[in-house]
């Protein structure tokens, strides 16, 4: 294990112990059976790599929803802001409040819908930017803010083909005009979201882009009545669209998955050099030898064909290891691949470590990440399970502490 790096251990709220108490990976392992390791230098480098493909007119909005895709929202947000990111995006009101309570002052866009006066009051109090999707929402915000005698910057979302949140693109101009007329609302941004930006076939993405351009063209024609105000910021590109086509960058790009070092699709890997930020590590808690014919774990999905040395490792599906990976995944110990055997249980997994005869209790297993010349990625798990890497990253539960590695 590499030592000499500053490390902090945080709970869900990213409250960390004094780094002087925990100052090496070895000490972290003594305190924890398993953990999520977050490489903050890799995070900063990913920001730099993405910024290099943006023009000076385009800002990066870091998407830190879902606890920063499982990486720890507060520490990730603080790191990317220090790296020059100007905007943050979250999915829910509590996610935005968490960042504000941590002292983060950058503009924060709430991507999810807000529907109650109490939520509007909280949005205003914490100075978050809400997404308005319907006339009813816009009226609710205007009326509530009027009662508070307060103005608020808002953004409107145009549904150009995702068929999720947003006003239909055919009604985009009408919705814009309503929001512009309503008191106490200051229109700060207009955006949409792609449904197929990660596909090698750009047909649908181009159709959505065309619809967005039509709406913006109509809005610009009617903007003359409000010459004193700055035209709203425009954004439509997620990670995939950002890597695929610079014509989609506009004023902001919303970067989620690629911020954390993964590519939305294989054909986009040449666009920029990214490094995975997350590693999953756990400790061996017992080593034993079983004889041929011995079953392992629930249901005896694995029965040893020969004498086998197995390692029990303190991590399981309650921590975020998908149970459907049973007998299909590998780990890395001392730079060597070892196979997982038997059904994955709630708190533990078993590995065939016959190729490491002197393995000791307490040694570290890398389940996601790199060890020596080999690595295991979230894409590997996703491909095995027939899902996406986003789901893998977001699946690691909060009983696994986030350990921030700082160069």
Q: Which of 65, 78, 157, 281 is catalytic?
A: 65
- Where does a domain end: 268, 303, 338? 268
Give CA–CA dist 78/70, Å, rounded. Answer: 15
- Where does a domain end: 268, 290, 306? 268
Residues 43 and 67 both lie in one domain: yes
Q: Which of 5, 230, 275, 298 is catalytic?
A: 298
Task: Please give the DSSP secondary-structure letter assigned to residue 232.
Answer: P
Q: Are 258 and 242 in contact (CB under 8 A)?
A: yes
Residues 281 and 398 both lie in one domain: yes
Q: Taking the model in full, what pTM does it have? A: 0.91
Predicted pLDDT of residue 1: 30
Give CA–CA dist 163/160, Å, rounded. Answer: 8
Q: Are 399 and 319 in contact (CB under 8 A)?
A: yes
- Where residue 68 falls (left for φ over 0; alpha for ψ -120 to 50; beta otherwise) is left
Give CA–CA dist 243/238, Å, rounded. Answer: 9
Residues 194 and 288 both lie in one domain: no
Residues 237 and 290 both lie in one domain: no
User: Nearest 5°: phi and psi at 61?
Assistant: -105, 115
Q: Are 314 and 343 in contact (CB under 8 A)?
A: no
Residues 18 and 56 both lie in one domain: no
Token pair, residue 139, equals 């009226």
Residues 98 and 117 both lie in one domain: yes
Write out the DSSP string of 123-150: HHHTTPEEEE-SHHHHHHHHHHHHHHT-
The torsion angle over the Cα atoms of residues 6, 11, 12 and 13, rounded to 10 degrees, is -80
Residue 54 lies in a domain: yes
Residue 125 lies in a domain: yes
Q: Which tens digits make up the pLDDT trace of 13-55? A: 333 333 333 334 445 545 689 999 999 999 999 999 999 999 9
Residue 331 lies in a domain: yes
Residues 73 and 188 both lie in one domain: yes
Q: Which tens digits make up the pLDDT trace of 65-87? A: 999 999 999 999 999 999 999 99
* Cβ within 8 Å of residue 274, ≥6 positions away: 46, 49, 258, 261, 262, 263
123 pLDDT higher than 70: yes
Residues 288 and 263 both lie in one domain: no
Query: Which among 405, 349, 338 is positioned nearest to 374, based on CA atoms?
Result: 338
Helix (H, G, I), strand (E, B) or coil at 338: strand
User: Nearest 5°: phi and psi at 307?
Assistant: -60, 130
User: Nearest 5°: phi and psi at 107?
Assistant: -60, 135
User: Nearest 5°: phi and psi at 319?
Assistant: -95, -15
Query: Which among 207, 263, 264, 250 is positioned nearest to 61, based on CA atoms?
Result: 250
Residues 129 and 202 both lie in one domain: yes
Residue 249 lies in a domain: yes
Helix (H, G, I), strand (E, B) or coil at 150: coil
Residue 15 lies in a domain: yes
Please name the helix (run of DSSP H) or strand (run of DSSP E) that holds residue 390, with its range, or none: helix 389-394
Residue 193 lies in a domain: yes
Secondary structure E strands in 21-151: 34-39, 59-63, 87-90, 108-110, 129-132
Predicted pLDDT of residue 32: 86
Catalytic, 298? Answer yes
Please name the helix (run of DSSP H) or strand (run of DSSP E) that holds residue 404, with its range, or none: strand 402-406
Q: Are 103 and 123 in contact (CB under 8 A)?
A: no
Residue 1 lies in a domain: no
Residues 197 and 232 both lie in one domain: yes
Predicted pLDDT of residue 405: 87
CATH value at residue 397: 2.40.37.10
Q: Which of 19-33, 62-76, 217-231, 337-351 has the lowest mean pLDDT?
A: 19-33
The total of structural domains in the chain comes to 2
How many other CB atoms are there within 10 angstroms of residue 327's CB atom?
Answer: 15
CATH value at residue 149: 3.20.20.10
Residue 201 lies in a domain: yes
Predicted pLDDT of residue 2: 32
Residues 237 and 304 both lie in one domain: no
- Where does a domain end: 219, 249, 268? 268
Give CA–CA dist 157/179, Å, rounded. Answer: 12
Token pair, residue 153, equals 């910057």
Q: Which tens digits make up the pLDDT trace of 137-193? A: 999 999 999 999 999 999 999 999 999 999 999 999 999 999 999 999 999 999 999
Residues 230 and 101 both lie in one domain: yes
Q: Is the dihedral angle over the CA atoms 69, 74, 79, 81 positive or is it negative?
A: positive
Q: Which tens digits make up the pLDDT trace of 387-406? A: 999 999 999 988 999 999 87
User: 394 lies in which domain range?
Assistant: 6-31+277-406
């Amino acid at each position: 294990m590499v030592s000499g790096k500053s490390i902090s251990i945080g709970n869900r709220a990213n409250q960390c112990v004094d780094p002087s108490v925990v100052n090496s990976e070895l000490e972290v392992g003594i305190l924890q059976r398993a953990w999520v390791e977050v490489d903050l230098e890799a995070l900063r480098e990913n920001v730099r790599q993405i910024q290099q493909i943006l023009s000076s007119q385009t800002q990066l909005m870091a998407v830190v929803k879902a606890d920063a895709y499982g990486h720890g929202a507060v520490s990730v947000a603080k790191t990317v802001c220090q790296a020059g990111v100007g905007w943050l995006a979250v999915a829910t009101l509590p996610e935005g409040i968490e960042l504000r309570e941590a002292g983060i002052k950058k503009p924060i866009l709430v991507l999810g819908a807000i529907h109650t006066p109490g939520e509007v009051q909280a949005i205003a109090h914490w100075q978050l930017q809400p997404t308005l999707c319907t006339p009813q929402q816009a009226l609710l915000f205007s009326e509530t803010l009027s009662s508070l005698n307060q103005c608020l910057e808002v953004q409107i979302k145009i549904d150009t083909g995702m068929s999720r949140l947003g006003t239909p693109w055919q009604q985009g101009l009408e919705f814009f005009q309503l929001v512009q007329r309503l008191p106490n609302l200051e229109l700060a941004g207009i955006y949409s979201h792609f449904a197929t930006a990660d596909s090698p076939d750009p047909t649908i993405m181009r159709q959505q882009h065309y619809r967005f351009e039509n709406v913006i063209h109509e809005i610009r024609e009617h903007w003359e009545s409000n010459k004193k105000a700055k035209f709203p910021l425009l954004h439509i590109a997620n990670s995939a669209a950002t890597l695929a086509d610079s014509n989609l960058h506009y004023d902001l790009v919303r970067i989620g998955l690629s911020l954390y070092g993964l590519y939305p699709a294989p054909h986009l890997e040449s666009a920029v050099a990214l490094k995975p930020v997350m590693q999953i590590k756990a400790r061996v808690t017992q080593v034993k030898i079983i004889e041929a014919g011995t079953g392992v774990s629930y249901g005896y999905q694995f029965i040893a064909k020969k004498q086998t040395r197995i390692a029990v490792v303190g991590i399981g599906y309650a921590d975020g290891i998908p149970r459907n990976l049973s007998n299909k995944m590998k780990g890395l110990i001392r730079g060597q691949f070892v196979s997982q055997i038997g059904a994955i249980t709630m708190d533990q997994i078993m590995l065939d470590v016959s190729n490491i005869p002197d393995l000791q209790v307490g040694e570290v297993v890398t389940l996601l990440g790199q060890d020596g010349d080999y690595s295991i990625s979230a894409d590997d798990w996703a491909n095995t399970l027939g899902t996406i890497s986003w789901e893998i990253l977001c699946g690691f539960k909060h009983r696994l502490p986030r350990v921030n590695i700082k160069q």
